[in-house]
Amino acid sequence: MSVASRLRPPSFVGFRPAWVRSDVIAGLTVWAVLVPESLAYATIAGVPPVVGLYAAVPALALYALVGSSRHLIVAPMSATAALSFGIVADYGGGDSQAVALTAALALATGLVAMAAGLLRLGFLASFISEPVLKGFIIGLALTIMIGQIPAMLGVDKGSGNFFEQTWDLITHLGDADVLSAVVGIGSLVALLVLRRWMPFLPGSLIIVLIGIAAVNILRLDDQGLDIVGTIQSGLPDLGLPDVSGNDFLTLLAAAVGVMLVGFAEGLGAAKTYAAREGYDVDANRELVGLGAANLGAGLASGMVVNGSLSKTAVNGGAGAKSQISGLTAAVLTVVTLLFLTGLFEKLPEATLAAVVVAAVIELVDITSLKRLWRVRTGRLASVYRVTSRVDFFAAAATLLGVLLFETLPGLIIGIAVSLGLLIARTSRPHTAVLVPVTQPGDTPARQTQIWVDSERNPALPAVPGLLVVRVEAPLMFTNADVVREQIRDLVTGSDPRPTVVVLDGRTTPSIDVTAAGMLVLLRQDLRRLGAELVMADDVGQVRDVLTVAEPDDEPPMYVTIEEAIAAASTSRDGTGR
């Protein structure tokens, strides 16, 4: 690898000059959505609208240089803006204090994320499974949509969770403003038509410009159409926010939750578009990128930022190939702060809402939920019962958690349900009874024998006096007693009772001390029942643990099932050990 390649920012690895045109167009499109959204999200955070633009510029630039995703747009977002408002509101104080605390929270979030990335804690993302992320993304997309639809229709936005907001919207449909509804629904339909029939055009940018032009030409704002309104111009002051050390330490603790929400949404969006384009994202690098973006936002008098699901969708849909699009949006946002704030003052809020809804509507991936539901086959259902749909239930729990309790609680619920179902499945593993089947060869000497699950091959006869079992899970403290009971029941339930019991270890990748002790007890149990326990095809890690944990009483271990049967039979005949 050349020096230039090693120094290249991660998100620019593999960059091609031919991508510049599409990236610049995508950056223009993101800019058109990012500016008014950032203004709105700053309002959600309880600070002046321009604070959102202050945060967006360093966030876009620093993530582009540090992050690993080519498509992720890091900027103010509704979920973290709402969390920021809740945290800062506890301190009280005036507007200036709220601005300082908001910037300090961004700094604290940046430090927490940066530390987590440098300590390589990105592996914690492994606890957020793909189904959990899928449920989180769908729930977040639905939450974003229900928050934008009132602006499309010209009605007041309700409060509460997704279902409360939906009910509030339904009960107030009669109050919809006709002009806002026409502009909002018309913008949404036009966006979807452009996406379907002319995907090569920057549909969001076109619709935003048409909306601004319509307001200026037809004076729609004078007819009651809501527009973005006045935006303060100029660049922010750089430096540390004016907060006390004690307040900052308190914010550090709160920043952990903010970071988790931002990281989950950003990682979900980054993985979604990385999978579509065929590259990988690095969880540790994503944490560092999130940290750098928030540090920059805090030092620029901004607010908390994170990977944006909606703006990443806009970016990907507009044809972005690299973070040139993010840098383009950053440059255009600087230009906006200096010269173009007046341009977006005439943007209809209904059009803005339509752009956001169109961006996230494709992320409501119901097909994926159906696929997770179908994974439960008849055989799998008979073995694992409720936990046979572990992935679907994890996704559904996360989805409902986000819709009912908002982002952070929803994510925690999804992770907890996923881990709980995993433990439940592991605690009652399937113990299969194996029977032999002969595979033909070129000659009789080359015939081989394999051992298969008797339930799946009911026509194959069992071998009298022999029981071969396979535990399809690691052996650990959560399932040791269950496995012991299952094998004893198989022995006592056989007629005639087996004299040799072989434990096939091919599907048991690991064992702990508790399970090692269980095997010793099981061997003693089976001897009282007139059977000898031996092991075959064990994994090296299992053999290593057994050798150390139970050096005197470990069951004999053999390379193949046939060797184990022969050795155990010889031992029982009194001609061997």
Query: What are 206-213's contacts with CB under 8 Å, separation 24+?
Result: 207/351, 207/354, 207/355, 208/32, 208/33, 208/347, 208/351, 208/352, 208/355, 209/32, 211/183, 211/187, 211/347, 211/348, 211/350, 211/351, 212/343, 212/344, 212/346, 212/347, 212/348
CB atoms within 10 A of CB 211: 28
Q: What distance in Å separates the CA atoms of residue 8 and residue 68, rounded to the nearest whole number?
A: 11
Start-to-end CA span in the chain (Å): 59
Half-sphere CA count of 8, side-chain side, radius 13 A: 15
Amino acid at 577: R
Q: What distance in Å separates the CA atoms of residue 344 and residue 228, rounded to the nearest whole number?
A: 7
Q: What distance in Å separates the CA atoms of residue 273 and residue 314, rounded to the nearest whole number?
A: 11
Could you give the domains of the chain? 3-133+190-224+244-337 (no CATH), 365-427 (no CATH), 431-573 (3.30.750.24)
CB atoms within 10 A of CB 514: 15
- Residues 6 or more apart whose CB falls under 8 angstroms from that of 402 comprise 135, 136, 139, 140, 142, 143, 162, 410, 411
Give Dmax over CA atoms of the chain in angstroms: 103
Per-residue pLDDT at 573: 54
Phi/psi of residue 295, nearest 5 degrees: -60, -45
Cis ω before 150 (30° cut-off from 0): no
Per-residue pLDDT at 447: 60
Half-sphere CA count of 10, side-chain side, radius 13 A: 18
Which residues of the chain register pLDDT less than 70?
1-16, 92-95, 125-127, 200-202, 376-388, 441-448, 539, 550-554, 571-577
- Range 6-17 burial, b when 16+ CB lie within 10 A, else e: eeebbbeeebee
Q: What distance in Å separates the CA atoms of residue 159 and residue 145, rounded to the nearest whole number?
A: 14
β 431-439/448-453 pair status: antiparallel
Looking at 119-160, list the stretches that DSSP marks H as alpha helix, in order from N- to C-terminal side: 130-153
Closest CA to 264 of 361, 129, 105: 129
Per-residue pLDDT at 231: 76
Helix (H, G, I), strand (E, B) or coil at 76: coil
Q: What distance in Å separates the CA atoms of residue 393 and residue 389, rounded to the nearest whole number?
A: 6
Q: What distance in Å separates the CA atoms of residue 337 and residue 117, rounded to the nearest whole number?
A: 32
Helix (H, G, I), strand (E, B) or coil at 293: helix
Per-residue pLDDT at 56: 95
Phi/psi of residue 436, nearest 5 degrees: -85, 150
Residue with tokens 């440098």: 118
Are 302 and 199 in contact by the 8 Å Cβ rule? The answer is no
Helix (H, G, I), strand (E, B) or coil at 535: strand
- Please report, for residues 202, 466, 472, the alpha-carbon distance to residue 460 in angstroms, rounded to integers and kept in the order given: 63, 14, 21
Say which DSSP state 357 is in: H
- Residues 6 or more apart whose CB falls under 8 angstroms from that of 355 comprise 32, 33, 187, 191, 204, 207, 208, 314
Say which DSSP state 457 is in: -
β 306-307/74-75 pair status: antiparallel
Q: What distance in Å separates the CA atoms of residue 563 and residue 449, rounded to the nearest whole number?
A: 12
- Residues 6 or more apart whose CB falls under 8 angstroms from that of 79 comprise 140, 143, 261, 262, 265, 306, 406, 407
Looking at 470-528, list the stretches that DSSP marks H as alpha helix, in order from N- to C-terminal side: 480-492, 513-528
- Residues 6 or more apart whose CB falls under 8 angstroms from that of 448 comprise 438, 439, 441
Amino acid at 366: I
| Backbone angle region of 14, left / alpha / beta, with phi > 0 → left and psi within -120 to 50 → alpha | left
- Please report, for residues 366, 375, 510, the alpha-carbon distance to residue 390 in angstroms, rounded to integers and kept in the order given: 17, 10, 22
- Please report, for residues 180, 374, 382, the alpha-carbon distance to residue 388 in angstroms, rounded to integers and kept in the order given: 48, 10, 8
Per-residue pLDDT at 157: 84
